[in-house]
Structures are given as structure tokens and as C-alpha cells.
Amino acid sequence: LIDASRELGEARRFRARILALTLAENGAELAARQMVTRTSTNANATNAQGTMSAEMRKTPSSGLEQFTIVGTGESTGLEKSQSKVTLTGHIEGNKITIVFAQHSHD
């Protein structure tokens, strides 16, 4: 019984972490939808699994537009978890290049 309770807790924490990461990535995708046509945007959404939000900012730099997208996600349920994804890169015309991606978990 003790082992089963511990394993159930581990499974809940794992599920919460995966959901939070997925929500953070989905938030980043929502912000990225406007990347070619806008210089900045914010995106927020909520579903049964949790909340997601993101911010996208672009800055001109030597012929290329540099961008940063920061997406966050928070899972709901018995075990709550938060994750963050940061994407940086550049845009040349309609060609988007992600140079660096960082994932973190709280």
C-alpha cells in the first residue's frame, strides 16, 4: 500500500510536469502565429488541463528581425506544475529560424 501510494504520487507529478510543458509550448505557438505580421503580441488561453500564455517580441538587427517568444504553462489538478519555454531566433522575409530553445520547470 505504501509503495502504491508513492508511485501514484510520482505518476501525478510526472503528468503535471508534462502537461505544464505542453501548455507552455502551446502558448508559444499561439504567439508565433502572428510573428510575420506583428512586432509584438500576447496570447492567453485556458482549457480543462490548465492555462497557457506567451509573449512575442521582435527587434530589427542588421537586416534580420530578431525575435523572442516566452511561453508559460500551468497544469491544474491534484498536482499543479509550472513550465516555461523560451525561443529565440530571427526572421528573414517569411523564413523563420529558431536559434535557441530553452525549457525550464518550476
Q: pLDDT, tens digit, for every residue of 49-75?
A: 999 999 999 987 777 889 999 999 999
The low-confidence residues of the chain, meaning pLDDT below 50, are none
Q: Which amino acid is at 76?
A: T
Q: SS3 letters for the chain?
A: CHHHHHHHHHHHHHHHHHHHHHHHHHHHHHHHCCCCCCCEEEEEEEECCEEEEEEEEEEEECCEEEEEEEEEEEECCCCCCEEEEEEEEEEECCEEEEEEEEEEEC
Identify the pLDDT of residue 72: 97
Identify the pLDDT of residue 45: 94
Identify the pLDDT of residue 61: 73
Identify the pLDDT of residue 80: 92
